Structure 1
């Protein structure tokens, strides 16, 4: 098969990214692998969606680092939708929000057209259009969601703060990677106005109840096509523990990954959201769970799969790509 990975910018991809692991596994399975940066997308005169893409050379690679190096040295090739079997949307719109606002919605829009032209697009771009912000979480059962308000009004935030014993989390409605996430308590409430203004400068703000279990970090659990992702009885889940003095547990913000003892409580949270995610076409999703509450649902480019594979000694990337093969019938 011909498989393309849409990313923000090819030269900014890293060896430990989930996308890189998936691409290497697709290559090892014998597929032709393309990388497309959002800025490389195009609509051609013949009515075909396409791109100026880089292709992973047809040679053996022992690691993601050697594959990425060879990819970056390759010349771009013009390809069209009729040459592709699968397009994996792995770009994060939030990463382009400030410096390249024109790129934010491009993956979804071009993905929708590619789907109409016969390409299998994962995750489903129509589903992603509804999940373009953290507001998507509010469509899932209340029992698995933390108390939340979404607003741009300081008075709303102050009331929520006092209603929740003067300890809440503030973050942007559109955001990822732990950027602009604040814990506001008795020590920080004097800065409440400045924090709210800083977050609301770029849009709406989310205020969420603080969960004491967050001191132990959060759990990233992967769902594949509506089921908990597992290989050989080992479940793709990692506990992300924040570094000292930081409330963020994101790996790329210094968080450390640990194995997880998967409990019935965690599986119940996954079970409460799995069916809707599958119906929405969220082929690969990452759930961020604290205690029995779902803090976020990552559907654009959920990361940590290579880390999970290393922790448990199994190949979760292979499980994803073989499921892609089954979906396409290849």
Structure 2
């Protein structure tokens, strides 16, 4: 089997904790061919989608240690047709690159792509929570997405004492701030900063009810094919309300609560229906805060905390999906020959 990762540059990886790296490592250990590329390296040749790729050279013995694997990996460059791969795995960071998806549209019927392109378009990260029905806000906090400052100020004024403000296209906890009614005099300048650009354009922001207990951290749950396969709690640092590891938070082992299990049960079928097979959800107090469908992370951290190997479940799933496609193709070919020869 041959797999292509569309991702961030290899040199920008964290060689000890990167989820993309641990997935590549598992593919290599199973003797699958691995190529990596970036969205900027997609191209069209003779009306076919190609990628300027870096192909991982086969190793006699693939190191299990990620840092060693990252250091010893060698590549050769090749321009390869995307339709020639069995699997394409998207691991690029937000914001969503629509041009990348347009390239991949031409091969989505030929290759298993994780996650599904139309599903990613629908999810588009932080907006996706709105598709889950929860009229009483039992599992999803009251959320507003807009660039209208008048509406935002009125909502803050009429809302609870504490709310969370964050940019729509942020990731890794970037730009997430806690706002309080008592600081209303600063709201105008904050909204100007978050919404207005120098070129006259504007950005969407998310305003969300603050969930009690958020100062104690959040829970990252990884779901595969709609089922939870691992979780960890992220605790904020002393000088930061954000619990993201990239923002200085720390991680601790976590067992799913009944409410978290029920949340996964409620949203899992919709994720699968949309082809969003591998996702990360952020949960506070049993409530869904965010869905990450582009490059969910946390595999290495959960592995260390729970003495597990989540990547094996993920690659098992990918192999099964590819085999399903192969079996379906062979069946169609056999039946078409039967009809042709009749």
1: CA distance between counterparts of 2:69 and 2:251?
25
Contact 1:216–1:241 (8 Å) recurs in 2 = yes
Deviation at 1:191, TM superposition (A): 1.8
1:54 alignment partner in structure 2: 54
Runs of 5+ consecutive residues of structure 2 not aligned to the other structure: 197-201, 327-342
Contact 2:94–2:169 (8 Å) recurs in 1 = no
Deviation at 1:198, TM superposition (A): 1.6
2: CA distance between counterparts of 1:109 and 1:70?
34
2:75 alignment partner in structure 1: 74
The answer to whether structure 1 residue 239 and structure 2 residue 233 are counterparts is yes
2: CA distance between counterparts of 1:197 and 1:156?
14
The answer to whether structure 1 residue 155 and structure 2 residue 150 are counterparts is yes
Report the more deviating stretch, 7-16 or 248-257: 7-16
Moved over 6 A (4+): none
Contact 2:226–2:264 (8 Å) recurs in 1 = no
2: CA distance between counterparts of 1:92 and 1:107?
12
Deviation at 1:326, TM superposition (A): 0.7
CA-based RMSD of the aligned residues comes to 1.7
For the structure 1 residues 106 and 294, does the alpha-carbon distance in structure 2 shift closer, same or farther, using more than 3 Å as the test?
same
Report the more deviating stretch, 204-213 or 179-188: 179-188
1:101 alignment partner in structure 2: none
TM-score for both structures, normalised by structure 2: 0.87
- 1:195 is aligned, of 164, 180, 190, to 190
1:255 alignment partner in structure 2: 249
1:40 alignment partner in structure 2: 41
Report the more deviating stretch, 196-205 or 241-250: 196-205
Runs of 5+ consecutive residues of structure 1 not aligned to the other structure: 98-103, 230-235
1:64 alignment partner in structure 2: 66
1:131 alignment partner in structure 2: 123
The answer to whether structure 1 residue 319 and structure 2 residue 313 are counterparts is yes
1:217 alignment partner in structure 2: 217
Deviation at 1:70, TM superposition (A): 4.0
TM-score for both structures, normalised by structure 1: 0.90
For the structure 1 residues 302 and 147, does the alpha-carbon distance in structure 2 shift closer, same or farther, using more than 3 Å as the test?
same
1:233 alignment partner in structure 2: none
2: CA distance between counterparts of 1:112 and 1:269?
32
Report the more deviating stretch, 211-220 or 181-190: 181-190
Q: Tell me the secondary structure at the aligned position of residue 114 of structure 1.
A: coil
2: CA distance between counterparts of 1:227 and 1:262?
12
For 1:112-135, what per-residue CA distance to the aligned partner results, in whole angstroms no more than 9, with x for missing partners?
A: 22213x111110011111122411
Deviation at 1:37, TM superposition (A): 1.2
